[in-house]
Amino acid sequence: MASSNIKDLLTSFSPTSEFYAISSGDGRVKIWNTLTGRLHMEFVNLSIDNAGGGIMESKHESKYLSLD
């Protein structure tokens, strides 16, 4: 039985495995600290920049997120 509520789920570990990023397809990315199990940071209202070759970028206070 198909559901129209299914969204893409993207996940990735940092190179050192200290952080785990998860995006549920709703324009938010949450960064979790794998050592403490706590939410490290959340980016909201992300959008894809098609002119940049599908790169997703966002600024959060003094932090910067870039995904490709």
pLDDT in tens, 4-46: 665 667 888 999 999 999 887 777 889 999 999 999 988 877 6
pLDDT, residue 38, reads: 97
The domains of the chain are located at: 7-49
End-to-end CA distance of the chain: 32
pLDDT, residue 34, reads: 96
- Sheet hosting strand 55-60, strand order edge to edge: 47-49, 55-60, 63-67
pLDDT, residue 42, reads: 87
pLDDT at 49 over 60: no
pLDDT, residue 28, reads: 82
How far apart are alpha carbons 1 and 50 in whole angstroms?
33
